[in-house]
Structure 1
Amino acid sequence: MTRSLDVSTYLRRIGLGGLDGPPSVESLVRLHRAHVERVPYEYFHIWMDEPTSVEPLESAGRILRGRGGYCFHLNGALSLLLAALGYRVSRHVGGVQGGADSPVGVTGNHLALTVSGLPAERCPDGVWFVDVGLGDALHEPLPLVEGVHRQGPFEYRLRPSAAEPGGLRFDHDPRGSFVGMDFRAEPAEMSAFAVKHQELSASPQSSFRSVMSVQRRDAAGVDCLRGLSLSRIGSEEGTSVLSGRRDYFEALADVFGLTLDDVAPERKERLWRRLSEAHERWLASAEAPREPEPAGG
């Protein structure tokens, strides 16, 4: 028997219960806000050597079990939910530019979404840029209209891509963890992301294996746990170092809603040792330079 998405349970997972009526801009905004506030950007699957795929139903199952994911998981699962709710959703191959010296263009390290057929005053063509997999970026969908868009304390920009003919470019706020993201206009199948997902998850050269990051967006700002450093950007800004195992897992639960109840105690202990060792290596480096932020996924 073919499995299908449990829409009601998914909506309860993100705190919405049920959504009445046909697809609308208002409901799309509610869905996007709820998803980024309740389902964090994280990639513990890499740090705990858990094999995952880009199959949207599998990703949705992980979310329903209380976990998050990175872009292939989060946007993949959301695309499934949106389609089940009647939205016209398309997936697009993208590329996150991590730093100023990082590659620009559609490198395949990101999955972006658009939703069409929802005209509004600020979106006359009815096409919306939807992305719950950018970590510290969008809180709400953006009208796919060139120009500057402000959300809470952050300012974004949409424009034609200079690196991808016919593509689009999302420029992040200067305080963000990456510079921007380019994506192709044409739709893509999930199979287009499988090879890059394997590379980002398993390659020793993957930046995702050097520093662990958890991010959660809300209307007023972003919570970010990078290594053992917990920071807030936006409202009530500040940074603290979580020096103990108990503090770390309490922060995961209290700030990000990640209890990791599906992880056995001995595996959580191994995870903590790995995180602590990575932090110690960083402290022991020559001048403790800022570690590169993982880009993509």
Structure 2
Amino acid sequence: MEPEVVDAYLARIGAAATSPLGDLQELHLRSVPFENLDIHLGERIVLDEDALVAKVVRRRGGFCYEVNGAFAALLRALGYEVQLLSAKVFQGDRLSAPFEHLALRVADELVDVGFGRFSLRPLRLDVRDDQQGPAGVFRVVEAEHGDLDVLMDGEPQYRLELRPRTLADFAPTCWYQQTSPDSPFRRNPLATLPTARGRITLSGNTMITTEAGERTERELSDDDLLAAYRGLFGIGLDTLPRVIAAEGR
């Protein structure tokens, strides 16, 4: 990554090159939204590292493949050794297919800026006790075949495979998430960020605010929705993202 791009990325998240890893993760999570808007704007998402970084720098976010892919590039440019890891997401009492989620490993720490409501700080992969964080209580436990389950407040979130992967390994599932009528990312346009007291989310035309455990919802007009994307997330749109018809594009 060119030095000027590194500087622009750091400025985007309000960090310095000397910021500790935990601060880099939290600043990223508080600045770069988890969002799926390109899917509903008809824009194809390609897992190209330069494109992912450019998208973040121009004040957009993305889902896990995008934001964790971009963050991995930044961390490598800052001198960290980063591995991309595949995870299966818990969906009730069953697990998703492999590559449903992309997370990062830096030494013995799990770094994740692409799972929505999750830990704001890195989690130790070699610790089996509770790990307290601003977003909740986390625990990493042994699973089958040497995998690790990551729990938040006692609920399993995903099963992490420790084999290092490449960004290209996630391309088929990324394509599926964009094109399959069964993909959860096609159900509704979504953008979300943690706040000092909770979380702010736009889901379709609904603004969801959580503060101190209290959830409120408000329906927005289309004009107010465009303003909310810009004001809450810094995302300037000319056209509103719309739910894709079930038959696909």
TM-score by length of 2: 0.88
Query: One-letter code of the match for 2:55?
Result: R
1:140 counterpart = 2:131 = no
| Counterparts of residues 247-258 of structure 1 (less than 5 Å) | 247-258=224-235
1:104 counterpart = 2:81 = no
- How many residue pairs get aligned? The number is 243
Q: 1:143 to 1:220 in 2, by over 3 A?
A: farther
Which residue of 1 is the match for residue 64 of structure 2? 71
Q: 1:219 to 1:27 in 2, by over 3 A?
A: farther
Q: Which moved more, 1:63-72 or 1:214-223?
A: 214-223
Given candidates 27, 33, 42, the residue that maps to 1:40 is 33
Could you tell me whether the CA contact under 8 Å between 1:93 and 1:184 is conserved in 2? yes
Which residue of 2 is the match for residue 233 of structure 1? 210
Could you list the runs of 5+ residues in structure 1 that have no partner in the other structure? 21-25, 117-126, 279-297
For 1:249 and 1:208, the matched residues in 2 are separated by 20
Could you tell me whether the CA contact under 8 Å between 1:252 and 1:259 is conserved in 2? yes
For 1:130 and 1:231, the matched residues in 2 are separated by 26
Which residue of 2 is the match for residue 154 of structure 1? 136
Per the TM alignment, residue 141 of structure 1 is displaced from its structure 2 partner at its CA by 1.0
Query: One-letter code of the match for 2:32?
Result: V
Could you list the runs of 5+ residues in structure 2 that have no partner in the other structure? none
Q: Deviations over 1:59-96 (max 9, x none)?
A: 11111111100000000000010011001111111122
Could you tell me whether the CA contact under 8 Å between 2:87 and 2:99 is conserved in 1? yes
1:183 counterpart = 2:160 = yes
SS class of match (1:59): helix
Query: One-letter code of the match for 1:132?
Result: V
Query: One-letter code of the match for 2:68?
Result: N
| Counterparts of residues 1-297 of structure 1 (less than 5 Å) | 4=2, 6-16=5-15, 18-20=16-18, 27-97=20-90, 99-101=91-93, 103-104=94-95, 107-116=98-107, 127-144=108-125, 145-162=127-144, 165-173=145-153, 179-218=156-195, 220-235=197-212, 237-260=214-237, 265=238, 268-269=239-240, 271=241, 274=242
* Aligned-residue identity in percent: 29
Q: Which has the larger radius of gyration?
A: 1
SS class of match (2:75): helix
* Root-mean-square deviation (Å): 2.3
For 2:79 and 2:196, the matched residues in 1 are separated by 26
Query: One-letter code of the match for 1:242?
Result: E
Per the TM alignment, residue 51 of structure 1 is displaced from its structure 2 partner at its CA by 0.9
For 1:238 and 1:250, the matched residues in 2 are separated by 21
Q: 1:186 to 1:13 in 2, by over 3 A?
A: same
Q: Which moved more, 1:68-77 or 1:137-146?
A: 137-146
